[in-house]
Chain A
C-alpha cells in the first residue's frame, strides 16, 4: 500500500513535468490548437504524438506481465460500445475545454502558479464532478469509480 502511494506520487510528479515542458500549462496554446479555422497552433498535436507514441509502446510491453509490480491485477476498462453518455459527456467536456483552455491535468499542475483563473476553473470542475456523483446517487445507480479512458 505504502509503495503504491509512493509510485503514484512519483507518476503524478513526472506527469506534471511533462505537461509543463510540453506547453500544456499555457491555456492559450490549447485554445490555439482548437482554433482550426483561425491562426492554428499545432503544439498540442506534437504533445499527443509524443504521449500516445510512448504510451502505446509501453502499454503493449507492460500488459504482457501477469500482474502489476505492486498490485494484484490490471484495471483496464473492458467496455467497447459507444453510447449516448460517452458522446454527450465528451461533447460537454469539449465545451468547457474550448471556453477555458484547461482540462483536469493542466489545471491541477497550474494551481500553484496559475493564480485565480486556475482556481476558479478547478473549483467549478470539482463542483461538476460532485454534481454528477449526487445525480447518480439520486437515480439510485451505483456510483462506480470512473474508469480511465474506457
Chain B
C-alpha cells in the first residue's frame, strides 16, 4: 500500500463522514445505507422520498464517477452464483442485525454505540473467517 493510497483512503473516508453528518444535520437521519435501501421496500415511518433520493444520489454518483474516474472501479472476483448468495446474506443480515458497514461501522461507532461496535467486530470477524477459508480452499490470495 502506497502513501497516496492511504491518503486517498483517509480523505475519502472523511468525505463519507461529512456526507453522513450532512444527512443528520439537514434531515435528522443517520446514514445507514442498508437501512435506507430496505426502507424503500416498505412504508417507513420517516418517509420514503428522502430515502429514494439518497439512493438515487449513490447511483447517480456511480454514473458520474464511472465517466470521470473509471479506474476507481473493479468488479468483485467472486463468481456469479456466489455473488447472489453473498448479496442475500448481506441484505438479510443487515436487516436482522439492524445495520451495515455504514450504519454500524461509521455512524454507530463514531457515536460510541455498544451495539454498533459489537456488530462491526462481529461482521469483521466472520468476514475474515470466510476470506481465510476461501483462500485456503481455493488457492492463494
Chain A residues near B (Cβ < 8 Å): 1, 3-28, 31, 34-39, 41-44, 46-56, 58-59, 62-63, 65, 67-77, 79-82, 85-105, 107-118, 120-133, 143-150
Q: Which of B36, B84, B86, B104 gathers the greatest number of chain A CB atoms within 10 Å? A: B86
The docked-state distance in angstroms from the alpha carbon of A50 to that of B13 is: 4
Q: Which residues of B contact A24 (CB under 8 A)?
A: 12
A76 to chain B, nearest CB (A): 7
Given A11-B57, A145-B46, A148-B31, verify A133-B41 contact (CB < 8 Å). Answer: yes
**Shortest CB distance B128–A (Å):** 5
**Contact, CB under 8 Å: B66 / A113:** yes
Contact digits for B57-75, partner A, Cβ 8 Å, 1 yes 0 no = 1111111111001101111
Interface residue ranges of B95-141 to A (CB < 8 Å): 95-111, 113-116, 118-120, 122-132, 134-135, 140-141
Nearest A residue to B96, CB-CB: A89
**Distance A56 CA – B21 CA, assembled complex (angstroms):** 9
Contact of B95 among A18, A37, A133 (CB under 8 A): A133
Question: Roughly how many angstroms separate A98 CA and B14 CA in the complex, as a whole number?
Answer: 24
Known: A11-B22, A14-B15, A109-B61. A4 touches B126 (CB 8 A): no
Most buried by B among A11, A21, A69: A11
**Consensus secondary structure, chain B interface:** helix
In chain B between 28 and 52, which residues have their CB closer than 8 angstroms to a CB of chain A?
Answer: 28-39, 41-42, 44-47, 49-52
Query: Does B24 contact A26, Cβ atoms closer than 8 Å?
Result: no
Contact A89 B94 (CB under 8 A): yes
CA distance A143 to B60 in the complex (A): 29
Q: Residues of A contacting B37 with CB < 8 Å?
A: 104, 108, 125-126, 129
Assembled-state Cα–Cα distance A23/B15 (Å): 13
Residue numbers in A under 8 Å from B90 (CB-CB)? 93, 96-97, 100, 102-104, 121, 124-125, 128
Query: Is the pair B131, A35 in contact by a Cβ cutoff of 8 Å?
Result: yes
Taking a contact as CB atoms under 8 Å apart, the answer to whether A125 and B87 are in contact is yes
With A20-B72, A51-B105, A95-B89 given, can you name 12 additional A-B contacts, CB distance below 8 Å? A7-B23, A23-B12, A46-B10, A59-B111, A87-B97, A88-B97, A91-B122, A109-B61, A112-B66, A117-B75, A128-B87, A145-B46
Max chain A Cβ within 10 angstroms of own Cβ: one of B5, B27, B130: B27
B106 touches A96 (CB 8 A): no
